[in-house]
Amino acid sequence: MQEWLAPAMFVFAFALIFTGYPVAFSLGGTALIFSFLGVAMGFFDWALLFAFPERVFGVMSNFVLLAVPFFIFMGTMLEKAKLADDLLTTIGKLFGPLRGGLGLAVVFVGALLAAATGVVGASVVAMGLISLPVMQRYGYSTALSTGTICAAGTLGQIIPPSVVLVVLADQLGISVGDLFVGSLIPGLSLAGMYAVFVAGVAVLNPDAAPALPASERDIPWKTLLRQVLLVLVPPLLLILVVLGSIFAGVATPTEAGALGATGALLLAAIHRRLTMKALRATMDETAKLTSMVVFLLIGSTAFALVFRGLNGDLWIEELLTGLPGGKVGLLVVANLAIFILGFFIDFFEIAFIIIPLLAPAARILGIDMVWFGVMIGLNLQTSFLTPPFGFSLFYLRGVAPKEISTAQIYKGVLPFIGIQLIALLLIMLFPEMVTGLLD
């Protein structure tokens, strides 16, 4: 009977989560219900639960998690400063007259926004509102344009700095700086692969990605170049300072995040967009998202406390280290589990519930944890693209004109999901892509 309780708890928690009640409280409630069951059956000690406030206090004083609100603040502020709109408009004009140029502009701006803001929803919405109509007007294939926009928007997950990577590093017990460094080349390669794909389509099927007529560029070259510089330099500087100081080891990610948030305020002020309304919206969003993330963590902490009390951790560990194929077996199971769960649930849930179960087994099998983290990050990023519940798709659906069917959007992301899987395979075959920049 006893050995059934932990697996039952796991299944029960997932069943509750799928009812749609907030995950944090579903997990907390599950913890409570199963601690009662455990006590009633006589093999769970109440005293264990009094560790809960210490765990909460541990979250409060966790220096790594402190980076989460900073990066949220930075990204939201830049979003409210309409950074994406400026970039898309000017870069679009610059690249537009090339064949496939608009698509490339979307990928390029997507990568840039990823490093600056990392807010997937905001990037996709901006691209859907600004670039999509232009692409439609000049005859881009609907599948290509929607797919490119959805995919480029998700780059924020994997190109550092990113809140996902901060949370992953915390859960895997590795340094955030290392995970940022490790994900840089995979993230940029991914953007590169998107660009190659778009360019390839433009070459092989010119009708799908035509060049814009010169008349679309309504301003002289000189003015355009000046605009490009004006809009490109400030965010590039900000990215350089934030990432540079982390990579050079001068600042911790938390410090760099705080400076980045201040930098975002300055950038908004320079563009005269630091209005009271924008500031309030940024603060409100930061408060809500931070609470959401941390309470999810608190709920899963309660869950983990009881799950461990019922020896669930041993059960999972045995299960995962005893897989046929050892390391490879674990990697296959981990990737499949995350990929499949990614169809239905959000990456924060995966990070807080699944990762703590996978991490000890990975460590026992001697897997490089930074590499493991990047692989998980890449896999989670894919979940933003997979129908029917990929967030990127939802956001684009929300802003795309009605003539574009949901099926077309799904069709559009398919090649990009393929690219994701290739990238995942690449970092498995060539771990140096991750570890190369680390000492």
**In one letter, which amino acid is 155?**
L
Q: How far is the CB of 246 from another protein (least distance, A)?
A: 11
Of 388, 377, 287, the closest CA to residue 338 belongs to 377
Binding of residue 164 to another protein (CB under 8 A): yes
Distance CA 366, CA 372 (A): 11
Name the segment binding another protein (CB under 8 A); options: 90-98, 136-144, 252-260, 332-340: 252-260
Q: How far is the CB of 340 from another protein (least distance, A)?
A: 13
Q: How far is the CB of 297 from another protein (least distance, A)?
A: 9
Structure tokens at 20: 């749609």
Closer residue to another protein in complex, CB, 115/361: 115
Binding of residue 299 to another protein (CB under 8 A): yes
Binding of residue 2 to another protein (CB under 8 A): no
Question: Can you point out the beta strands (E) in 118-188?
Answer: none
255, 313, 317, 368: which one binds another protein (CB under 8 A): 255
Binding of residue 75 to another protein (CB under 8 A): yes
Binding of residue 307 to another protein (CB under 8 A): no
Q: How far is the CB of 21 from another protein (least distance, A)?
A: 3
Closer residue to another protein in complex, CB, 7/29: 29
Binding of residue 170 to another protein (CB under 8 A): no
5, 6, 9, 72: which one binds another protein (CB under 8 A): 72
Name the segment binding another protein (CB under 8 A); options: 135-143, 326-334, 390-398, 402-410: 390-398
Distance CA 248, CA 241 (A): 10
Distance CA 38, CA 36 (A): 5
Binding of residue 163 to another protein (CB under 8 A): yes
Q: Which of residues 318-357 bind another protein (CB under 8 A)?
A: 344-346, 348-349
Q: Which of residues 113-142 bind another protein (CB under 8 A)?
A: 118-122, 125, 128-129
188, 224, 236, 279: which one binds another protein (CB under 8 A): 279
Torsion over CA: 168, 169, 174, 178 (sign): positive
Query: What is the Cβ-side half-sphere exposure of residue 141, based on CA atoms within 13 angstroms?
Result: 18
Q: Which of residues 32-51 bind another protein (CB under 8 A)?
A: 32, 49-50
3, 57, 237, 336: which one binds another protein (CB under 8 A): 57
Cα angle for residues 105, 109, 112 (degrees, 5° grid):
145
Q: Are 131 and 102 in contact (CB under 8 A)?
A: yes
315-328 CB burial, b ≥16 within 10 A, e <16: bbbeebbebeeeee
Number of residues that bind another protein (CB under 8 A): 92
Q: How far is the CB of 29 from another protein (least distance, A)?
A: 3
φ/ψ of 3, rounded to 5, equals -70, -10
φ/ψ of 152, rounded to 5, equals -60, -35
Distance CA 353, CA 56 (A): 16
Q: Which residue in the block uniquely carries the two structure tokens 């809500």?
A: 288
The per-type count for the chain, helices as H runs and strands as E runs, is 21, 0
Binding of residue 85 to another protein (CB under 8 A): no
In angstroms, what CA-CA distances link 94 with 33, 84, 134?
60, 15, 14
Name the segment binding another protein (CB under 8 A); options: 70-78, 104-112, 181-189, 331-339: 70-78
Distance CA 49, CA 38 (A): 12
Binding of residue 261 to another protein (CB under 8 A): yes
Binding of residue 275 to another protein (CB under 8 A): no
4, 21, 43, 430: which one binds another protein (CB under 8 A): 21
In angstroms, what CA-CA distances link 239 with 113, 117, 177, 215, 242?
10, 9, 15, 33, 5
**In one letter, which amino acid is 297?**
L
Binding of residue 302 to another protein (CB under 8 A): yes
Closer residue to another protein in complex, CB, 6/72: 72
Binding of residue 412 to another protein (CB under 8 A): no
Annotate each residue in 143-162 with x if it binds another protein (CB under 8 A) or - if it does not, as one string: -------------x-----x
Binding of residue 410 to another protein (CB under 8 A): no
Provide the 8-state DSSP code for 47.
Answer: G
